[in-house]
Chains A and B, each alone.
Chain A
Amino acid sequence: MVSEGMERVIELLKKQEEEAIKKRVKDSRAAMVMLGKMDKIDEDVSIIDVDVNGIPAVWISVPDVEVNNVVLYFHGGGYFEGTINTHKGLAARICRASKSRVLLPAYRLAPENCYPAALEDGVKAYRWLIEKEGLSPENIVIGGDSAGGGLTAATLVKLRDTGIALPAAAFLLSPWTDLDVTGESMRTKKKEDPFIKIDSVFWMAALYCKDEDPRNPYISPLYADLKGLPPLLIQVGSAELLLDDSTRFAEKAKKAGVDVTLEIWEDMIHVFQAFALWAPEGQQGIDKIGEFIKSKT
């Protein structure tokens, strides 16, 4: 039994905590949008709004794409931020490098929509490509960065488990595959990584998982059985907290018989490909993604 006064205190503290989360989410999203605005998109890129069974999305295209080859791209942002506008520059560069059209959906985000909302949207977008757009799985590649990389892997596992034909290949850029945050690089890389901090990773994990076990394989594909997955390309920087999320995932996939290419980019940071406008390493990474996609579709 708790006194009436203490009940009021607890209520007040809970409300304060909820408001603090809301504010932090809002501020962080706004900051990411600002960062996204710094990027430039070439004039020949066409970006067309499309409704994917209720999920807002865009088709990104350049003049010389192979119309039948499609990349389904999941943006990053810790499952709580990121949207079409923050990632259309990166998606457009991947479109050009791979000569494939890119579908960039604004899948639902936490804390408003926790797991499994993002995964449901990921699967829905893939099925829409096949069922509504009439594409064949061998012409589709799924990819994503950070949380979107984790979502890519989780979507593959979900598709396999549901008996849906898998895409031709997938690429993961600095994927977040372990929401239980157990990688050693979480500690060993803390000085090198300029902007991802372990407490923020805990925070984002708690928002997305809510009451779910972070080791649920559809949340943390690191803990999934990876048998039967299509060829994977993983790119990660050596200077990031999330390095082990890639190295451990690649190892597990290899053991499960998956054709995995792991590229560890020396001294590169989390999703360095997003900085292609300013840094040549970003474009080099994207060029390799393009080659990979073209070789699989």
Chain B
Amino acid sequence: MKKKKISVGMRSMIKVLRADHEAETKKRVAEGRAALEKMASKTIIPDDVIFEEIDIDGMSALWVTTPESQLNKIILYLHGGGYVQGSLKTHRDLCQRISKASNARTLYIDYGIAPENPFPAGLNDSVKAYQWLISHQEIKPGNIVIAGDSAGGGLTLATLLKLRDSNIPLPVAAVCLSPWTDLTLSGESYHTKAKEDPFITFDGLAFDARLYIGDEDPKNPYISPIYGDFTGLPPLCIQVGSAEILLDDSRIVAEKAKKAGVDVTIDIWEHMIHVFQAFAIIATEGQKGIERIGEFIRKYLK
């Protein structure tokens, strides 16, 4: 590498600026994570739900079991949070509601998130969890559905692509709630819906994308499944709100998957916001969405 001809003073200034920037990023990440956990802490979870903490080869996870759960019918759940936020605290209510509506048990995993664990850490973790279900828990792929919201919805699709490309038997179906499928942020809805969307912002997603992608190509289909080939994927259920900047991330994926011969159901919920199902505790639309997810999953986890 060519040595830069810059003064010692400028060199140390650059060092200071870089360190300042990194400290600011860390602070922002910590604040974002804390805010999501605070929001999640306000939900009340019924007493009949059991959360069992387990370890999957070094990764923490929760088994979420409800009285309705059939023990050999499994949902592998990938939480949202822009690949930067989200933990085993933030999506418990959503997981238990989906479990209940689907009569299934949910494996809710703490996959690696950025900036500490950028791509492909999360993808490797979800594939690992799926393989663990099959080999360690002896669950048949026909009894597994993968599901996720937002970044977790994108990760659901990326996991399907990765499993298919690795010749691992695919799950029977998959569910994506407001999936983030395009980390290049190219959809028109990023701009046309900006005023309507109260939840997520273009620059916020650009921040998350920068931390998750690092030096990788954002068009890598394991990062942005919107650029993938969907041939051979199992039936997909996609739910998205009409009032969100990520609307096109769902629309385009549904179109492309249909063209590739995938059995896709896309529900665009009028006026609904990003992952509106997460607000089921106070908003009826959230619970309705979850009921529909339940119907879809029950059809496949017979």
Q: Contacts of A275 on B, CB cut-off 8 Å?
A: 9-10, 13
Q: Please judge, given known A-B contacts A9-B273, A275-B9, A275-B10, whether A199 and B210 are in contact too, CB under 8 Å.
A: yes
Q: Does A73 contact B (CB under 8 A)?
A: no
Q: B27: nearest residue on chain A (CB-CB)?
A: A27
CB-nearest residue of chain B to A191: B215
Binding-face segment, A110-118, A163-171, A265-273: A265-273
State whether the Cβ of A198 lies closer than 8 Å to any Cβ in chain B. Answer: yes
In contact, A194 and B201 (Cβ under 8 angstroms): no
Interface contact B21-A195, CB-CB below 8 Å:
yes
> Which residues from chain B contact A294 at a C-beta distance below 8 Å?
none
Given contacts A14-B198, A267-B6, contact A5 B283 (CB under 8 A): yes
Residue of A5, A14, A194, A267 touching B4 (CB-CB under 8 A):
A267
**Contact string, A17-33, partner B, CB cutoff 8 A, digits 1/0?**
10010001000000100
Taking CB atoms, residues of chain B closer than 8 Å to A195 are: 17-18, 20-21
Contacts of A9 in B (CB 8 A): 273, 276, 279, 282-283
A269 near B283 with CB under 8 A, answer: no
- Which residues of chain A come closer than 8 Å to B209, judged between CB atoms? 199
Contact assessment for B10 and A272 in the assembled complex, using a CB-CB cutoff below 8 Å:
yes
Q: Of B17, B210, B279, which is within 8 A of A6 by CB?
A: B279
Q: Is the CB of A269 within 8 A of B17?
A: yes
Is the interface on chain A under 10, 10 to 19, 20 to 34, or 35 or more residues?
35 or more
Q: In the assembly, what is the distance between CA of A16 and CA of B279, in Å?
A: 15
Q: Separation in Å of the A289 CB from the closest CB of chain B?
A: 17
Q: Pick the interface stretch among A123-131, A215-223, A276-284.
A: A276-284
CB-nearest residue of chain A to B24: A31
| In the assembled complex, B14 has its CB within 8 A of some CB on chain A | yes
Asked whether B203 lies within 8 Å of A1 as measured between CB atoms, the reply is no
Contacts of A197 in B (CB 8 A): 21, 207, 210
- From residue 241 to 297 of chain A, which have CB atoms closer than 8 A to chain B? 266-269, 272, 275, 278-282
Write the A50-68 contact mask toward B (1 if CB under 8 angstroms, else 0): 0000000000000000000
A51, chain B: closest CB distance, angstroms: 34
B210 touches A281 (CB 8 A): no
Instruction: Determine if B203 and A199 form an interchain contact, defined as CB atoms under 8 angstroms apart.
Output: yes
Residue contact A199 to B17, C-beta cutoff 8 Å? no
